[in-house]
């Protein structure tokens, strides 16, 4: 009896990864379901905001502050001294005037003028002052010689209809004054040498402080406002507009005879203030004269005198100078 041999069918090859076909199918199905049901990670947008550098952030904040300041000025709100950075404007200037007559606050109330009483500096002092200004370097802006003055009283906002009252006050207080001999002294910085904004030279004259106080008292009696800083006579030589080195102290020996004072009107421009003469006032009293020695008389004698009697020399005082002409 012969036994018929039948060939065995080959078993299907196992998957290379060791998993059965069923497991492979299930894995593929799960993967397909996950891809279909779960959202794909969103690719980053090209225009998505990126984190700015500190410099860009500071620039945006500065632009925002400037925009706010422009909107406030357009709405009529008073402009401050330049956004806080520890302190500014026209502040406690020497004598309450160094730089104040130029108006650090550019906002001027409607219907008012910025005025100040001052002594005009004569043109013959321009040479030595200009020589001192040449020593400045960096961001110093020189004051022109024809605009130099000694401020006596500063009025930031005078109604237009009150200017004549100030003219009458000036005449009343100054017509009985004698010309003043004004002396230049040493230079200084305001508000201090460490952080200067103004470079000035001090001035002194007999009766100058009393005149400044009388003017301020008279202005207050008129119901008008002045700066509240104590008077310190000076001439502003330059103003600082940015980083700049300081100049060592300088001493001036020049002087001049002031024959009057001026009421100035200050008009602000981008290039600096312009000063217009609103009125002038003469010091009309004569200069004081030194007492003249009386001639001596010899005792009389019986014998005739052989010498002529001597007379003491008389001195004449120079005529007072005229006040500065209108400009």
The pTM for the full model equals 0.59
Mean pLDDT for 132-157 is 94
Residue 45 lies in a domain: no
Averaged pLDDT score across all residues of the chain: 77
Mean pLDDT for 104-110 is 71
Q: Which of 66-75, 245-254, 301-310 has the weakest average pLDDT? A: 301-310
Mean pLDDT for 117-140 is 95
Residue 259 lies in a domain: yes
Q: Which of 149, 183, 190, 220 is catalytic?
A: 149
Q: 12-21, 190-199, 317-326 — which one is most confidently predicted on average?
A: 190-199
Q: Which of 92-106, 281-295, 301-315 has the weakest average pLDDT? A: 301-315
Beta strands (DSSP E) in the chain are: 112-120, 140-142, 149-159, 180-190, 198-204, 234-240, 255-258, 260-267, 274-282
Q: For 279, how many CA atoms within 13 A lie in the half-sphere containing its CB?
A: 16
CATH number at residue 189: 3.90.1140.10
- Report phi then psi at 190, rounded to 5: -125, 140
- Residue 271 sits in which domain range? 90-282
Mean pLDDT for 228-251 is 92
Residue 114 lies in a domain: yes
* 149 noted as active-site residue: yes
Residue 95 lies in a domain: yes
Overall number of domains in the chain: 1
Residue 42 lies in a domain: no
Burial of 180 from C-beta contacts in 10 A (0-12 / 13-18 / 19+): buried
Q: Which of 107, 183, 220, 234 is catalytic?
A: 234
Distance CA 273, CA 255 (A): 26
Q: Is residue 104 pLDDT above 70, yes or no?
A: no
Residue 37 lies in a domain: no
Residue 288 lies in a domain: no
Structural element, H or E, at residue 93 = none
Q: What is the pLDDT of residue 270?
A: 82
Q: What is the pLDDT of residue 280?
A: 97
Question: Tell me: the pLDDT tens digits for 182-195?
Answer: 999 999 999 888 88
Residue 242 lies in a domain: yes
Q: What is the pLDDT of residue 27?
A: 78
């Amino acid at each position: 009896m012969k036994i018929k041999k039948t060939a065995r069918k080959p078993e299907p090859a196992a998957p290379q990864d060791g998993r059965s076909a069923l497991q492979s199918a299930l894995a593929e199905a799960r993967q397909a379901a996950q891809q279909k049901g779960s959202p794909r990670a969103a690719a980053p947008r090209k225009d998505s905001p990126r984190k700015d550098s500190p410099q860009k952030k500071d620039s945006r904040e500065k632009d925002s502050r400037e925009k706010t300041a422009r909107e406030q000025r357009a709405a009529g709100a008073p402009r401050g001294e330049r956004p806080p950075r520890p302190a500014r404007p026209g502040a406690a200037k020497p004598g309450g005037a160094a730089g104040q007559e130029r108006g650090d606050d550019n906002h001027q109330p409607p219907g008012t003028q910025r005025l100040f009483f001052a002594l005009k500096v004569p043109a013959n002092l321009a040479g030595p002052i200009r020589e001192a200004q040449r020593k400045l370097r960096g961001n110093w802006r020189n004051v022109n010689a024809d605009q130099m003055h000694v401020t006596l009283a500063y009025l930031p906002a005078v109604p237009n209809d009150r200017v004549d009252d100030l003219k009458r006050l000036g005449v009343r207080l100054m017509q009985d004054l004698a010309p003043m001999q004004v002396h230049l002294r040493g230079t200084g910085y305001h508000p201090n040498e460490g952080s200067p904004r103004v470079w000035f030279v001090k001035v002194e004259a007999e009766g100058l402080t009393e005149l400044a106080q009388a003017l301020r008292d008279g202005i207050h009696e008129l119901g008008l406002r002045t700066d509240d800083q104590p008077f310190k006579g000076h001439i502003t030589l330059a103003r600082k507009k940015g980083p700049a080195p300081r100049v060592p102290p300088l001493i001036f020996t020049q002087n001049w005879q002031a024959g009057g004072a001026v009421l100035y009107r200050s008009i602000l421009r981008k290039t600096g203030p312009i000063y217009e003469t609103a009125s002038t006032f003469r010091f009309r009293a004569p200069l004081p004269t030194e007492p003249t020695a009386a001639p001596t008389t010899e005792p009389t004698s019986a014998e005739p005198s052989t010498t002529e009697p001597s007379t003491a020399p008389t001195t004449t005082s120079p005529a007072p100078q005229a006040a500065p002409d209108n400009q």
